[in-house]
Structure 1
Amino acid sequence: MKTVSAPHSAPQLHTIDDDECRLFREAAELAGRKWTAAILLSLARGAERFSEIHASIDSISDRLLAARLRELEAQGLVTRAVVPSTPVQIRYGLTPSGSELITILQPLVHWARRSGARGDAGEQPLAS
């Protein structure tokens, strides 16, 4: 297994092996997928129903939101509960893992703000 170390001129904070690098890449791809952060944040702010989540996210289609919610549920980040009523209601929420991901992403947002990182359009720094 190959290990990558920080250069000698910089303090050696971490050594990352190939498996950890793969896990990091997979986690970053999941968290960075379009709409994932917006959906998780909407749930963290209290949205529970599909219509509430949809209303809180500009420009996402119903079809894409439904697909992303299914993916996030499969990843163990979102719960989906069927409320037996007339009509049947579906409620979404964050799992402990989903809440943990929101917490983990907060330092990244602070870093982006400090570094002047830009959003997709390259016009403004990323918002928190």
Structure 2
Amino acid sequence: MEETVDGLTQSECMRDMIPVRDAMDVLNGKWKLPIIVALRFGTKRFREISREIPKISDRMLSKELKDLEMNELIHRKVYDSFPVVVEYSLTEYGKTLNAVIETLRDWGQAHRKRMLER
């Protein structure tokens, strides 16, 4: 019989671990979630995103935007104009992260409060 901890078996733990690891692989690093949060408030151009996320370099922002687009979380729209205008927005799939972001925000607020009260 499989050992349990807090009512979970090791196989149940692994069943939960795999999708969590998959999600973390897509959202890894310190910049992807802030980019997604910025785009939750509407379509933005590169420079607007850059201004909203302190300390991110243009090179890193460009790389992260490409990764997010590859994973179908954001949409990149290029307008045929001079100069060329490029806008970024969340895809419908990217919007499925809203509940995750709200949960992380709530946990982060509670954690900050707890640490400040020590």
TMscore range, shorter length: 0.7 to 0.9
Unaligned runs of at least 5 residues, structure 2: none
- 2:39 alignment partner AA: L
Deviates more, 1:71-80 or 1:96-105: 96-105
Q: CA deviation at 1:71?
A: 0.3
2:86 is the alignment partner of 1:90: yes
Matches within 5 A, 1:37-56: 37-56=33-52
Q: In the alignment, is the contact (CA less than 8 A) between 1:43 and 1:94 conserved in 2?
A: yes
TM-score (norm 2): 0.78
Determine the structure 1 residue equivalent to 2:63. 67
2:116 is the counterpart of 1:114: no
Counterpart-to-counterpart distance in 1, 2:28 and 2:113: 14
Question: Higher relative contact order by CA 8 Å / sep ≥ 6: 1 or 2?
Answer: 2
- Residue identity opposite 1:73 in structure 2: E
State percent identity of aligned pairs.
Answer: 30
Structure with greater proportional helix content = 2
CA-CA distance at 1:45 after TM superposition: 1.7
C-alpha distance in structure 1 between counterparts of 2:56 and 2:111, whole Å: 28
1:117–1:30 distance in 2 versus 1, CA, 3 Å: farther
| Superposed displacement of residue 110, structure 1 | 1.2
The count of corresponding residues between Structure 1 and Structure 2 is 113
Matches within 5 A, 1:18-57: 18-57=14-53
Give, in whole Å, the separation in 2 of the partners of 1:105 and 1:4.
33
